Amino acid sequence: MGNLFLASLIDGLLIGFVYGIAAMGLSLIWGVMDVINLAHAPLMALGMFGVYLLFSSIGLNPYLALILIALIGLIGGVAIYYIAIHRVLSAPPLSTLLATYAVNMIMIGLGTAAFSTTPRNVNFTLGSIGSGDLTVQSTRLVAAVVATVVTGGLYFFLYRTRPGKNIRAVANNRAAAELMGIPSSRVLALSFGLGTLLAAVSGGLIATFFPFTILAGNAYQLKSFVIVVMGGLGNPLGALAGGLILGVMEGLIPIILPNSWVPVLEFILFVIILLVRPTGLFGAKK
Amino acid sequence: MKQLKNIGLWVSLLAVIVLGIGPIVSRSPSLRESIFIILQVIVLAASLNILLGFTGYVSFGHVVFFGLGGYVGLYLISVQNWPLWSAALAGGLTSGLLAFLLGKAILRLRGAYFALATIGINEAVRAFVNNFDPFGGPIGMTLNFKVYSNYGGAANALWMTYYVILALALLAVILNFVIKNSKFGLGLMAIREDEDAAEVMGVVTPDAKTWAFVLSAILPGIIGALFFFKNGNIEPGDAFRLDYSIEMLVIVMLGGQGSVLGPILGAAGYEGLRDFLLTSPLFKNIQLSVAGALLLVIVLFIPAGAVGWLRKRVPILRKVLA
């Protein structure tokens, strides 16, 4: 029992890191421009398919593929921003929700036509570490390490570099930032690109240990909502903490209740946090 | 009864009747099925319009009321042997009750927080029903075919549900019109424009918002029971489809939020477009993408929807389009 508990806890924590960076992408975009990105799901799915295609066609190591996918995600996100978001940024919130949902529909439509909805998996393994009940798949361990490195990189970028500081300034007060000479629309585009990058990378990491379809992103997008609200909308580090909490919940709840009760508890917790502490457990921006 | 002279109401009612009369005249079951879907969407979109268009609250999980009504209705029909009519009514009232209980709590949240909470509620209810054995858990419930014999056989039952949904579509239009032209509706629109100012001006905003939420939940609940009775079976995945919720938002937006005619135009336009895309050899495989691209163009360039755009461009129509 003790070993089972420990193994579930570790599994949950490791998954939690990956959930965390997926949610961080959503949280960053929300924090900087008050947009809930409903295109998060297909972006994660494209990250999954990116790893899958690069691995199965040219045999590229999934972790090297991630670098390429991150780059494509960044550029793609900037493009999405200029095409779909920029015009409606100051319109009522429904407009940005619908604009990102339209992007979602376009991508899912094309993705379904190209890849169909049959499940795929990346046939890649690194073996496992530990023995007996206490074994951990190495791909999950590496994924958690990559997620930590990505988080560290994001924080270094936001706090130590000029473009990162610009992003924080625009998030804090767009008008004031513009008066200080910060090109706000370029900064917003960069933030959307970074959010997309995080979505794609987290999708790519998930693909190394779970099977997936083009629609697989939806479940993770919903989880990301829960995590972002737990961590506080617009607080990226809170998102990582929220991801760990959710991962641990998913690891531990099945010990006492059937697996299918996990989402019930997750979403009830989600609604309660929204009602009682809408700024999240760790405080939102402002 | 000055409002009965309002041309806008009659134009909207006429639009629904013109749409709904086709199957009755031609007696064609296939036409009836496609018009049924459009009428259903009109009722759902018009209900959502009360909250979205008049009050300015974006409910992303509105399908929860449709699904819950369907589940309660089907449970009462198949397990408790209730007749369809009382079961559908019970479905509607259950949805209204859920909206009332949730309303005071989640309507305190504004903007995106409210939208997220409604998604959370839909997913929580879906996950719960998935585990709830009286409702059949993940398998759902299937009606015994014999149930239809109480209504003169399956074919007859289908026609009957069609007449009911046509009546409900007319009712939804009237409800929208009455709310829009009432003091209550003015209060809602004041909330939409500026909630704090509305409160200062004497609108009891928590009550007004809750009643708007309840009114927007009852008809979807009835429709849910009706639809799944016609369908013969219900599963959690079909009943609480988040996509369907978002489609309703798109339809209200297409037609023009906050107008009476908007949901009708939006529903007919959207469903017509989808039929065209699904059957056209060129777009069949990427119909979702084409629909998404169109949505994007509308959101970016015609944010007021069809009715808003027409009213702005053609001043004569302002009197005609409610």
pLDDT digits (tens, 9 = 90+) for B146-205: 888 888 888 888 999 999 999 999 999 999 999 999 999 999 999 999 999 999 999 999
At residue A270 the predicted structure's pLDDT band, cuts being 50, 70 and 90, is confident
Residue A70 pLDDT exceeds 90: yes
Residue B2 pLDDT exceeds 70: no
Whether the CB-CB separation of A239 and A27 falls below 8 Å is answered with yes
B62 contacts: CB under 8 Å, gap ≥ 6: B44, B47, B48, B51, B118, B216, B217, B220, B245, B248
Whole-angstrom distance, CA of residue A191 vs CA of residue A11:
31
Instruction: Look at residue A136 and tell me if it is in a domain.
Output: no
Chain B residue closest in CA terms to A272 = B117
The pLDDT score that the predictor gives to residue A47 is 94
Instruction: Look at residue A131 and tell me if it is in a domain.
Output: no
Say if the Cβ atoms of B288 and A108 lie within 8 Å. yes
Instruction: Look at residue A135 and tell me if it is in a domain.
Output: no
Whole-angstrom distance, CA of residue B306 vs CA of residue B259:
10
Which residue among B113, B120, B299 sits closest to A267, beta carbon to beta carbon? B120
Judged by average pLDDT, the poorest of A57-61, A180-184, B228-232, B282-286 is B282-286
Whole-angstrom distance, CA of residue A78 vs CA of residue A99:
15
Two tokens at A210?
A: 């779970």
Mean pLDDT of the region A46-66: 92
Whole-angstrom distance, CA of residue A231 vs CA of residue A225:
10
The pLDDT score that the predictor gives to residue B310 is 85
Whether the CB-CB separation of A226 and A245 falls below 8 Å is answered with no
Q: Please, which residues 111-150 of chain B have a Cβ atom closer than 8 Å to chain A?
A: 111-113, 115-117, 119-121, 123-124, 127-128, 130-131, 138
Which residue among B109, B130, B296 sits closest to A274, beta carbon to beta carbon? B109
Q: Report yes or no: A102 at the B interface, CB cutoff 8 Å.
A: yes
Distance (Å) from the alpha carbon of B154 to chain A's nearest alpha carbon: 34
A66 contacts: CB under 8 Å, gap ≥ 6: A51, A146, A201, A204, A205
The pLDDT score that the predictor gives to residue B219 is 96
CATH number at residue A175: 1.10.3470
Q: What is the pLDDT of residues B46-83, one digit of tens each?
A: 999 999 999 989 888 899 999 999 999 999 999 888 99
The pLDDT score that the predictor gives to residue A241 is 92
The pLDDT score that the predictor gives to residue A24 is 94
Instruction: Look at residue A200 and tell me if it is in a domain.
Output: yes
Most A CBs within 10 Å, among B59, B299, B301, B302, to test the A interface: B299
Residue type, B79: V
State the first-to-last Cα distance of chain B, in angstroms, to the nearest integer.
17
Q: What is the pLDDT of residues B122-145, one digit of tens each?
A: 999 999 999 999 998 899 999 888
Phi-psi region of A233 (alpha: psi -120 to 50; beta: other; left: phi over 0): beta
Average pLDDT, chain A: 89
Residue B306 pLDDT exceeds 80: yes
DSSP string for residues in A162-175 = HHHHHHHHHHH-HH
Domain span at residue A194 reads 2-120+149-276
Mean pLDDT of the region A40-50: 95
At residue A284 the predicted structure's pLDDT band, cuts being 50, 70 and 90, is low
Q: Please, which residues 129-168 of chain A have a Cβ atom closer than 8 Å to chain B?
A: none
Residue B1 pLDDT exceeds 60: no
Which residue among A95, A218, A270 sits closest to B303, beta carbon to beta carbon? A95
Average pLDDT, chain B: 89
Structural domains of chain B in order of their starting residue, each with its CATH number? 2-318 (1.10.3470)
Which residue among B56, B120, B299 sits closest to A98, beta carbon to beta carbon? B299
Mean pLDDT of the region B85-108: 93
The pLDDT score that the predictor gives to residue A286 is 46
Instruction: Look at residue A285 and tell me if it is in a domain.
Output: no
Q: Nearest 5°: CA angle at A223, between A114 and A26? A: 80
Two tokens at B303?
A: 């944010």
Task: Show residues of chain B in contact with A106, CB under 8 Å.
Answer: 288-289, 292-293, 296
Instruction: Look at residue A208 and tell me if it is in a domain.
Output: yes
CB pairs under 8 A between A and B: 133
> Which sign does the torsion angle of CA A125, A131, A135, A139 carry?
negative
Instruction: Look at residue A232 and tell me if it is in a domain.
Output: yes
Task: Show residues of chain B in contact with A107, CB under 8 Å.
Answer: 289, 292
Q: Where are the alpha helices (DSSP H) in chain B?
A: 7-26, 29-49, 63-78, 84-106, 111-131, 153-180, 183-193, 195-200, 205-231, 236-239, 242-255, 262-279, 287-301, 305-313
DSSP string for residues in B37-81 = HHHHHHHHHHHHHIIIIII----TTTHHHHHHHHHHHHHHHHTS-
Number of domains in chain A: 1
The pLDDT score that the predictor gives to residue B189 is 94
Identify the three-state secondary structure at position A215. Answer: coil
Instruction: Look at residue A129 and tell me if it is in a domain.
Output: no
Residue B86 pLDDT exceeds 60: yes
ipTM attached to this prediction: 0.85
Mean pLDDT of the region B288-304: 86
Nearest to A196 by CA among A35, A20, A75: A75
Two tokens at A168?
A: 């924080």
Residue B111 pLDDT exceeds 80: no
Q: What is the pLDDT of residues A145-178, one digit of tens each?
A: 999 999 999 999 999 999 999 999 999 899 999 9
Nearest to A263 by CA among B130, B105, B245: B130
